[in-house]
Amino acid sequence: MTQRRSESGFPVKAVYGPADLSEDSADRIGEPGSYPYTRGVYPTMYTQRPWTMRQYAGFGTAAESNARYHQLLAAGTMGLSVAFDLPTQMGYDSDDPVANGEVGKVGVAIDSIDDMRRLFHEIPLDKVSTSMTINAPASVLLLLYQLVAEEQGVSGDQLSGTIQNDVLKEYIARGTYIFPPKPSLRLVADTFAYCRKEIPRWNTISISGYHMAEAGATPAQEVAFTLANGVEYVRAALAAGLAVDDFAPRLSFFFVARTTLLEEVAKFRAARRIWARIMREEFGARDPKSWMLRFHTQTAGVQLTAQQPEVNLVRVAVQGLGAVLGGTQSLHTNSYDEAIALPTEKAARLALRTQQVLAYETDLTATVDPFAGSYVVEAMTDEIATAVDELMGRVFEHGSGVDAIEAGFQKREIEASAYRIAQEIDSAERVVVGVNRFVLDQEEPYQPLRVDPAIEAEQTARLAALRADRDGDAVERALAGLRDAASGTGNVLYPLKEALRLRATVGETCGALRDVWGRYQPTERF
């Protein structure tokens, strides 16, 4: 019989026992809420209140997405998570030729403060926690959000939420970068400094392994490359003159939850342990909050299937269970129809109901870290931690995480893993229910949600009206000031905010920064 292996490649034994645990395992497990946080970052975890239930949503126009947000809030979601369309993610306006055919397709189109105002119409920003999945232009969208909050009378110290703001993983696995790595890191560091002073409760970055996992990374690769990127962000902030304990407590992370539940639980526990050690021992952080790896989880979109899509409800429930058992701080559960098209309202509601069943109908919230002491989970935790340390060492053999990215190291490792997974699925060595086993002769019909292509024309018309209505000379002066700041060493977010206040667009502000910093071109080594 073939030896079963974990997603990270470790042999999985049929039976585990005390001999599988290391002699110092008790020290590395610790207690919940205490260093090294293997058992969770808070002493009580979910026994006092459950994790934050977020639903990732955004499509078409700001008005359409606003309607979906109101539906989700009415259904009991505890935090919003905004998906932006590709032009917005790349820093282009909807009327740019580059945006043709992509406006509103994979998220909401946001071109200016006018759109952001529509997106959060009648949503009290002092009461809702908002996560924004945006990277290269993260500071632009955050400032638009702050400006809308100010119009509501909500000050920066009342805002809570997260911007992903993790541009390094874009060079590794996703590709929605704008600027080269060094100015991108400067923009991240400027955002850290700005938020510490102006929006102190905001999580200034969500260092993401999710997209690497979706591209094919193993759990060990996901954690190793994510934490290596985290090290680079810490180094960039320190180089900009920030003290580690001034920004590290606001760092957060973003991981995937796969159907391999035991290994995923172990992965989350190992990630907390390693990050705590890095922050305390390598960077000398003294505030315990700087040692805590707090993270958001999303169930694995790449594991959803277009065949027999209702089976995805089961996959998502198992994945969500793994995230909760692993100690996530917030969770998004995918809709069962996402492998086909944008989620329907009913599918999005069912995804939220999945979390609510886990929180309120099971006994998961009755005790902290229920898998602690499990021979298999503790052994897997040690195995993943060892593999992560080895992979991070290979990253930094290149000099830095950025050097490794530019050499294509992480990308090659992930691609090799993705190729292996594809081969296993094609050969049916890896079972995917409904795809290579237990298939139907004929799939049942399904009516997906479609985005109206007329949205692009509507956004173009709104942009024309905005440019005709605003003070164009004032906008040009503000953009010139932004270019000057980008050429110097000052914090670019202050002139950026002023330009956005005057109704400069996302494309115009990102274009001003492109004028100074250039646009990233991947090397042939990729």
CA 453 to chain centre: 28
The pLDDT tens digits for 237-248 are: 999 999 999 999
What is the distance in angstroms between the CA of the first residue and the CA of the last residue of the chain? 38
Residue written as tokens 């309202």? 345
**pLDDT over threshold 80, residue 2:** no
Residue written as tokens 């990729």? 526
Contact 59, 342 (CB under 8 A): yes
CA 196 to chain centre: 21
* Planar angle of CA 316, 57, 111, nearest 5 degrees: 150
Q: Please, where are the H alpha helices in 217-374?
A: 219-239, 244-247, 261-277, 288-291, 311-325, 345-360
Report the percent of the chain where pLDDT is more than 70.
Answer: 99
Question: How far apart, in whole angstroms, are the C-alpha atoms of residue 143 and residue 130?
Answer: 13
DSSP 4: P
The pLDDT tens digits for 417-473 are: 999 999 999 999 999 999 999 999 888 787 776 778 889 999 999 999 999 999 999
DSSP 443: P
Neighbours of 503 (CB within 10 A): 19
Contact 441, 90 (CB under 8 A): no
CA 477 to chain centre: 35
**pLDDT over threshold 50, residue 522:** yes
Question: How far apart, in whole angstroms, are the C-alpha atoms of residue 404 and residue 413?
Answer: 11
Neighbours of 53 (CB within 10 A): 23
Give the start-to-end residue ranges of the domains of the chain.
18-48+138-426
Q: 11: cis peptide before it, omega within 30°?
A: no
Q: Which CATH superfamily is domain 18-48+138-426 in?
A: Methylmalonyl-CoA mutase (3.20.20.240)
Question: How far apart, in whole angstroms, are the C-alpha atoms of residue 491 and residue 190?
Answer: 5
Confidence band (pLDDT; 50, 70, 90) for 60?
confident
Least confident of 9-23, 84-98, 288-302: 9-23
Compute CA distances 262 → 294, 321, 337, 418, 420, whole Å: 20, 10, 25, 21, 21
Which SS3 state, helix, strand or coil, does residue 51 take? coil
Q: Which of 432, 416, 403 is nearest to 523 (CA)?
A: 403
Say what the pLDDT of residue 526 is.
41
Contact 504, 479 (CB under 8 A): yes
Say what the pLDDT of residue 521 is.
87
Question: How far apart, in whole angstroms, are the C-alpha atoms of residue 273 and residue 37?
Answer: 6
**pLDDT over threshold 70, residue 525:** no
Q: Which of 341, 348, 470, 459 is nearest to 88 (CA)?
A: 459
Contact 50, 359 (CB under 8 A): yes
Query: Across residues 242-258, what is the average pLDDT?
Result: 96
Which SS3 state, helix, strand or coil, does residue 253 take? strand
Say what the pLDDT of residue 446 is.
76
Say what the pLDDT of residue 468 is.
97
Question: How far apart, in whole angstroms, are the C-alpha atoms of residue 525 and residue 405?
Answer: 10
The pLDDT tens digits for 494-505 are: 999 999 999 999
Say what the pLDDT of residue 70 is.
94
Say what the pLDDT of residue 466 is.
98
Question: How far apart, in whole angstroms, are the C-alpha atoms of residue 146 and residue 286?
Answer: 31
Question: How far apart, in whole angstroms, are the C-alpha atoms of residue 206 and residue 136?
Answer: 13
**pLDDT over threshold 80, residue 523:** no
Contact 389, 225 (CB under 8 A): no
Report the percent of the chain where pLDDT is more than 90.
Answer: 88
**pLDDT over threshold 80, residue 376:** yes
Question: How far apart, in whole angstroms, are the C-alpha atoms of residue 62 and residue 83?
Answer: 11
**pLDDT over threshold 80, residue 79:** yes
Number of H helices, E strands in the chain: 21, 9
Say what the pLDDT of residue 308 is.
95
Say what the pLDDT of residue 9 is.
92
The CA-based dihedral angle spanning residues 390, 392, 396, 397, taken in that order and rounded to the nearest 10 degrees: 20
Confidence band (pLDDT; 50, 70, 90) for 524?
low
pTM, two decimals, is 0.93
- Mean pLDDT, all residues of the chain: 94
Question: How far apart, in whole angstroms, are the C-alpha atoms of residue 207 and residue 234?
Answer: 11
**pLDDT over threshold 60, residue 1:** no
For residue 340, give the amino acid letter: I
Q: Please, where are the H alpha helices in 59-209?
A: 62-75, 86-89, 113-119, 138-151, 168-169, 181-198
Q: Which of 199, 169, 201, 203 is nearest to 184 (CA)?
A: 169
Beta-strand runs (E) in 122-165: 129-133, 161-163
Contact 187, 490 (CB under 8 A): no
